[in-house]
Structure 1
Amino acid sequence: MIILVGSNKGGSGKTTLSCNLAVILAKSDSNNDVCLVDADRQGSAARWHQERESADITPAITLIQKYDNLTKTLQTLNEKFTHVIVDVAGRNSREMITAATVADMVIAPHQCSQLDLDTLGELQEQIIRVIDLNPDLKIFIYQTMASTNVQVIETERNDFQSYVAEFPEFTPLKSAGRYRKIYRDVMSEGLSVLEGSNKQAIEEITALHQELFSHG
């Protein structure tokens, strides 16, 4: 399965999400071989992976760096690995478009901010064209860096869902990732939140994993 984590907005937590997904998929089944493709020239996922390898952290994740046209590379990797997760830059890139043509699903992380949500229109235009080539592609919108303030959680969530509902091509995920320092802390150590002690963050990634794979 090819999972593309991408959007047209930088700073939405794509790399953090990609790395945490890679770990939970590897942990969920000992037979799962997971490949993380760093297709963002900033190389954040590659640096995370280097820290993980240096510390000999298990489960091991395979990482490759690949840019420009990803189509053939992803098709080849998909034959070798159970899951291929693709982390692309936060913009309308060649890597994002070519990956989407062969992906099984797109997970587009967005904050509940006008700047983030304004990019959904551009993403919609891209997806409409890609679906002509990949009609079975599933597109999920994931709320990231959501507030932990109980007084605004419900209002923020309603605003987010209402905005995403304007785009029939997208499915808003029920699960959400909240703004927690632990997500940043573990990345510098080559870890996922699953390998930390923050129960709320663990529950968030676990809920996302369960929801994604309940879609079949």
Structure 2
Amino acid sequence: MIIAITNVKGGVGKSTLAIHFAYIFSTILDYKRVLLLDADKQASVWTWSQVRTDNESLSVIRCQPLGKQGVRPLLLREREDNDVVIVDVGGEDSTVTRAVAATADIVIIPSQISSMDHSGNKVIIRLAEEAQSYNPDMQTCMVLNRISTTTKEIDEIDELKELYPSWILWPQHMKSGRYAVIHDRVAFRRTTLEGFTVFDQIEEGSSDWKAQYDIAKTLHGVMKLCQYDELADMISNKFIQPFLSTSSKEEIKYIKRYEDI
């Protein structure tokens, strides 16, 4: 399976999603069969992976840069050799972006809720629509990222959906039907600069369980929507069910927003 994470607008959290989704897949699967490819000229993911590799106490996440030549043949080979390939695609309309979209099984479009993001989304949705003529089985998911924790932005999603084609998938929590979103948290910025993920225990008591839950529930929602049920169940068993069985009062209050418990 190839998952492309792309948007022509920068700053929407593509690299952060790529890193954390790769961590989850590397944890539930054999890490040797999960590959993270950096196709962004800023090379944020590749730089992050090098910092992480230098820290022997952290789990391995396989990562390599993706060049500009022979992109589609390379991706097809890597799909044969791996269970999951995640591609962080640069924030621009380029031949690489188009080649990745034309090869991917799932295209994830990270987006914030703002008018500026809508203009960028229209471009990448047009590219995805063009890619479907070459790759008709491709599925496209809109993932709402960096959503404010202090405003009612989440209440605007139904209105936002009306602006987009019906074939765009919007991950939701399976029980409550609420939309899966990833909130804007300091933990994401702090960890990715240092080669960590929000799942790594940097120091005693420092992990951010809300950030962990947001990431895991969103990826679970994507896998369910795209009918990768076995992977969705593995994500739930490893990353979600522990919250439901060992939650504190604060955690239960947060989780109740999404789960019928």
TM-score under structure 1 normalisation?
A: 0.92
**Do the aligned residues in 2 keep the contact of 1:25 with 1:32 (CA within 8 Å)?**
no
State the 1:31 CA deviation.
Answer: 6.2
Q: Which residue of 2 aligns with 1:173?
A: 171
CA distance in 1, matches of 2:191, 2:118: 27
Q: Which residue of 2 aligns with 1:45?
A: 45
CA distance in 2, matches of 1:18, 1:48: 11
Q: CA RMSD in A?
A: 1.7
Q: Which amino acid aligns with 1:140?
A: C
CA distance in 1, matches of 2:43, 2:95: 16
CA distance in 1, matches of 2:46, 2:146: 22
Q: Which residue of 1 aligns with 2:28?
A: 28
When you count strand as a share of all residues, which structure comes out higher? 1
Q: Which residue of 1 aligns with 2:175?
A: none
CA distance in 2, matches of 1:32, 1:177: 27
- Is residue 2:122 matched to residue 1:138? no
Residue 223 of structure 2: which of 202, 205, 213 is its match? 213
Q: Which residue of 1 aligns with 2:67?
A: 67
Q: Secondary structure at the match of 2:124?
A: helix
TM-score under structure 2 normalisation?
A: 0.77
Specify every segment of 5 or more residues in structure 1 that has no aligned partner in the other structure, as ranges.
Answer: none
- Equivalenced residues, count: 213
CA distance in 1, matches of 2:2, 2:142: 16
**Do the aligned residues in 1 keep the contact of 2:31 with 2:61 (CA within 8 Å)?**
no
CA distance in 2, matches of 1:47, 1:160: 34
CA distance in 1, matches of 2:57, 2:39: 23
CA distance in 2, matches of 1:154, 1:98: 33
**Do the aligned residues in 2 keep the contact of 1:112 with 1:159 (CA within 8 Å)?**
no
Q: Select the structure with the greater relative contact order (CA < 8 A; seq sep ≥ 6).
A: 1
Q: Secondary structure at the match of 1:133?
A: coil
Q: Which residue of 1 aligns with 2:121?
A: 120
- Is residue 2:181 matched to residue 1:183? no
Specify every segment of 5 or more residues in structure 2 that has no aligned partner in the other structure, as ranges.
Answer: 173-179, 202-206, 228-261
State the 1:30 CA deviation.
Answer: 3.6
Q: Report sequence identity in percent.
A: 26
Q: Secondary structure at the match of 2:109?
A: strand
CA distance in 2, matches of 1:167, 1:126: 13
State the 1:209 CA deviation.
Answer: 2.1
Distance 1:99 1:191, change over 3 A: same
Q: Which residue of 2 aligns with 1:200?
A: 210
CA distance in 1, matches of 2:37, 2:148: 29
Q: Which runs of 4+ in 1 moved over 6 A?
A: none
CA distance in 1, matches of 2:135, 2:41: 26
State the 1:144 CA deviation.
Answer: 0.7
